[in-house]
Structure 1
Amino acid sequence: MSSTSSGQSAGQLETRGIEPVPEGECNGHPLQLFWVWFAANISILGLPLGATLVAFRGLAIWQAIIVAILGAAGSFAVVGIISIAGRRGRAPSLTLSRAIFGVRGNIGPTLVSLMSRLGWETVNTTTAAFVLLSLCSILFGSPVEAKSAPVLTLIFIAIFVLLTLAVSGLGHATLLVIQKWATYVFGALNILVGGFLCATIDWSAVFNATPAPLSAMIIGVGTMAAGTGIGWANAGADMSRYQHRSVKAARLVTSAAFGAGIPLVLLITLGGLLSVGNNDLASATDPIIAIRDMLPTWMAVPYLITAFGGLLLSNNLSVYSAGLTTLTLGLKVKRVHAVIVDIVAIFAGSIYFMLIADSFYGPFITFISLLAVP
């Protein structure tokens, strides 16, 4: 396997926790981070974000594009700014923040960050399991409802968390390689799916749409930032701690802003285009099914594979960061064991929300959205 910036090879276990990275192992370059952020934001779930801008905010498509650039790419520029601290301090974001809050004072923001991270990872895992249930229903005629197929649901949850563990558990070197090459595969699938979705756009309604007031755009920028870069801001230094000291700060900011901004702006724009004159996607309780219904029947399988891949790429980075955050709270275990602790929590949460609770998306997304405030 190829060697990466940390001096390790992909497939080799990263044993370092939150202690500073030695200077001799810091050989990273910004293009690596570009692919990491690109992969983490290639999920087709970016489409509902754009749908809300048009359906609920009333933005014209040119306004939605501006909002996507300012809100999504702009908020990831903030992630890039925080990455500068990782290059200088050689440690994860929430470890470096001890210098500001103190070890005890740092527990509060670290705990909130970990809860938010675990919440979104549970959303990813649950959604991915629903995707696999839907895929299995198409291919083999099995039930699509989780409670109607509990054993299958448990298997699908296990598949997703084990795939996440395989990458996040091995660590930094493996993450860099997997995120880069998987981006090519799932990026191509996203383009294929997006091409078919474009055929459903009402172009006459798009060109005749009335622009919304400036206030709606400002609110939209805040909504996009909260749903994209702000949630990743506390992980900015987690990957950049392996960057070479000679890397310029501007290149770190650019790699995050463009790496995440390119897929997000494209997906948000497409989501907005799909919602001109049609509120189905914006109001759907299950956006995965809503998007699938817009596609030809034969496209359902590649679409669901695309959705699963995007969720997995996002989860890889999130769980890696959550493992470092867990160590920052003071848990005296190895990094890989901290990742396993987080994986177990995600597995248990997904089982509860899929097989025990009456509903999931509405109340749970409200909960983790509230966590984003502090």
Structure 2
Amino acid sequence: MPQPVVERRSIDVVPDAERHGTAFSQFTLWLGANLQITTVVTGALAVVFGGDVIWSVVGLLVGNLLGGAVMALHSAQGPRLGLPQMISSRAQFGVRGAAVPLALVVVMYVGFFASGSVLAGQAVGKLTHLGAVPGIMLFALITAVTAAVGYRVIHVLGRVASVVGALSFVYLGIRLLDRIDVSHVLHEQHFALPMFLLAVSLSASWQLAFGPYVADYSRYLPRNTSPRSTFCWTLAGTALGAQWSMTFGVLVAATAGTAFVDDQVGYVVSLGGTGVAASVLYFVIALGKLTINVLNTYGGFMAVVTGVSGFRGQRTLGSRGRSLYVGGIMVLGTALALLGRNSFLDSFADFLLFLLAFLTPWSAINLVDYYLVSRERYDLAALTDPEGRYGAWRPGALIVYTVGLLAQLPFLATSFYTGPLVGPLGGADISWLVGLAVPAALYGVVGTRRARQLPPLPPAAPGGPVVPTAPTPAGTTTAID
């Protein structure tokens, strides 16, 4: 039976009868999501703030691989649980306690929506000759409609964007190499540890920011999809796409000077030519930003519903409610885009690095609990019951999260706050490493002790997971193994 194009499900479990696709879909989605202008800007920041080409590229690669591996571990949870990413946080923080990291994640979604809309709005404004402000508003409306349709159209968009983006970046790369003296750029090497670690942090933060919603786009895969396959295809797509775009950004920033800093979209398009070529590139930039902004909007909608439902007991959501949530995210993100469009580059760098401090403790706690403490077994029914196995609030996890956040502050370096240990480290920001290691170690102790106090989960069905014997209606949950 063919599935409807417009998605019916929100935070409820996806039953086996509605599962479809292969793990390769994660490669095309995350490749397309990373071959876009904001990723280019992220790579360029490594040079804008003082790094050289060679060591910036190496640092960005290290961050993409490390952060991408953490992100891909979250992706592998999707087929197993059949749930959006953030609802699994209830197993660590409690059904209502999960609202704490959820609130910060929603801020992330709105921030990325706003920053993406600034660049996409420039492209849409040029393409339609309407100007930047109408371009931002038109782009936001298209984003909201696409996100409201849901999962299937998102993956179609990812496949299209991956092909279009790859062809466009090959073309732009050739045009850029024709303009610059490559040997001169590559020979200007000066390793500086703070700049190297900044590059690592920029790309790692980019990848880790996908963690809170990556499983949203793998949860419809068949339950028997190999976790290793999901992990590898996700990592390959996101690391390749990001490194490709960021390397291009490094070369552009190292050779363009203020021309790129003053007008990121305009300079990139100018590489491709004028007339029809320019129009095509404006469309490509808008398409790439549409892909990632739809992910931000869809993920934001899932996060808000997850947070609200923890207090209201809501398990399903109608099309009207879905549209209202998506519309709210669109309006807020668009307002921020319009307010901050004239100081985009500086504010975006600070946003990325500061955001990382809030995401890494959550990521560490979620992964340690799923893979080491719970060993990939959750009581899905209890994820919606404040009186159930996971309770309403889990103070231990919330304390670990807070400690993980505070532990990063001495190592954090942004324009509005610099920790006391940044100077002795030569200005290097290693806060994200501390934010992963400290809460992972602490939650390993706290989570294991808590797990020993709980009754064991029901045994798995012979030969496979515990699954419903009849089609699962929206909102029904079950324990799995």
The question of a shared fold, defined as TM-score above 0.5 by the shorter chain, is answered with yes
**Separation in 2, partners of 1:8, 1:97:** 29
Aligned with residue 49 of structure 1, among 42, 49, 56? 42
Cα shift at 1:215: 4.7
Shift, 1:186, TM fit: 3.5
Could you tell me how far 1:187 is from its partner in structure 2?
2.9
Deviation at 1:292, TM superposition (A): 3.5
Q: Does 1:271 align with 2:238?
A: no
**What is the deviation of 1:322?**
1.4
Which whole-Å CA distance do the structure 2 matches of 1:367 and 1:276 have between them?
A: 23
Compute the displacement of 1:83 (Å). 1.6
In 2, Cα distance between the equivalents of 1:66 and 1:216?
A: 11
- Name the CA shift for 1:100/1:285 in 2 (closer, same or farther; >3 Å): farther
CA-to-partner distance for each residue in 1:232-282, whole Å, 9 max, x for gaps? 111122112222232222222211111112221112112222333553367
1:186 to 1:14, Cα distance in 2 relative to 1, 3 A: same
In structure 2, the residue matched to 1:150 is none
Change (3 A) 1:347 1:18: same
CA distance, structure 1, for counterparts of residue 79 and residue 161 of structure 2: 25
> Does residue 347 in structure 1 map to residue 331 in structure 2?
yes
Give the AA of the match of 2:203: M
Match runs of 1:1-374 below 5 Å: 8-9=3-4, 12-61=5-54, 63-137=55-129, 144=131, 146=133, 153=134, 156-226=135-205, 228-276=206-254, 278-280=256-258, 284-298=261-275, 299-330=277-308, 332=314, 333-334=317-318, 337-351=321-335, 353-354=337-338, 359-361=342-344, 365=348, 366=350, 370-374=354-358
Return the letter of the residue paired with 1:8. Answer: Q
Q: Using a 3 Å threshold, how does the CA distance of structure 1 residues 199 and 343 change in structure 2: closer, same or farther?
A: farther
Shift of 1:134: 2.4
- Which segment is superposed worse, 338-347 or 79-88? 338-347
Distance 1:302 1:43 in 2: 14
* 8 Å contact kept, 1:67–1:221: yes
CA contact (8 A) 1:91 1:241 kept: yes
| 8 A contact 1:69–1:265 mirrored in 2 | yes
What is the DSSP-based 3-state SS (H/G/I as helix, E as strand, rest coil) of the residue aligned with 1:291? helix
Q: Which has the higher contact order (CA 8 A, sep 6+)?
A: 1
Which segment is superposed worse, 195-204 or 309-318? 195-204
SS in structure 2 at match of 1:247 = coil
- Cα 1:335/1:260, change in 2 over 3 Å: farther
Q: Given the superposition, is the C-alpha separation of residues 340 and 185 from structure 1 closer, same or farther in structure 2, using an over 3 Å criterion?
A: farther
Q: Secondary structure at the match of 1:75?
A: helix
Alignment partners' CA distance in 1, 2:346 and 2:250 = 25
Distance 1:55 1:122, change over 3 A: closer
Measured in 2, the distance between the counterparts of 1:158 and 1:191 equals 30
CA contact (8 A) 2:51 2:196 kept: no
- The residue number in structure 2 matching 1:149 is none
Name structure 1 gaps, 5 residues minimum: 147-152
Matching residue's letter, 1:112: L
The one-character-per-residue Cα deviations of 1:5-62 (angstroms, maximum 9, x if unpaired) are xx625xx21111211111333333210111111121111332222222234342342x
How much does 1:326 deviate? Answer: 1.4
* Contact kept in structure 2, 1:17 and 1:335, CA below 8 Å: no
CA distance in 2 between counterparts of 1:265 and 1:363 reads 21
* In 2: Cα distance, 1:268 partner to 1:367 partner: 17
Q: Retained in 1: the 8 A contact 2:143–2:290? A: yes
Q: Quick check: 2:34–2:245 contact (8 Å CA) kept in 1?
A: no
Over 3 Å counting, the alpha-carbon distance change for 1:127 and 1:145 in structure 2 is closer
Which residue identity does 1:163 align to in structure 2?
Answer: I
Q: TM-score, normalised by structure 2?
A: 0.66
**Do 2:32 and 2:158's aligned partners in 1 also have CA atoms closer than 8 Å?**
yes
Q: Does structure 1 retain, via aligned residues, the 8 Å contact 2:124–2:136?
A: no
TM-superposed CA distance for 1:363, in Å, is 7.3
CA separation in 1, counterparts of 2:127 and 2:207? Answer: 30
Give the direction of change, closer, same or farther, for the CA distance of 1:265–1:328 in structure 2 (3 Å limit): same
SS of alignment partner, residue 169 of structure 1: helix
Structure-2 separation of matches of 1:111 and 1:158 = 25
Paired with 2:255 and 2:267, the residues of 1 have a C-alpha distance of 15
Q: Which moved more, 1:91-100 or 1:75-84?
A: 75-84
Tell me whether 215-224 or 287-296 shows the greater mean CA deviation: 287-296
Give the Cα–Cα distance (whole angstroms) in 2 for the partners of residues 47 and 113 of structure 1.
23
Count of residues in correspondence between the two structures: 350
CA RMSD of aligned residues (A): 2.7
CA contact (8 A) 1:324 1:335 kept: no
Asked whether the equivalents of residues 14 and 172 of structure 1 are also in contact (C-alpha less than 8 Å), the reply is yes
2:46–2:198 CA contact under 8 A, matched in 1: no
Distance 1:222 1:165, change over 3 A: same
Q: CA deviation at 1:327?
A: 0.9
User: Do 2:298 and 2:326's aligned partners in 1 also have CA atoms closer than 8 Å?
Assistant: no
Q: Which moved more, 1:251-260 or 1:190-199?
A: 190-199
Q: Which amino acid aligns with 1:67?
A: G
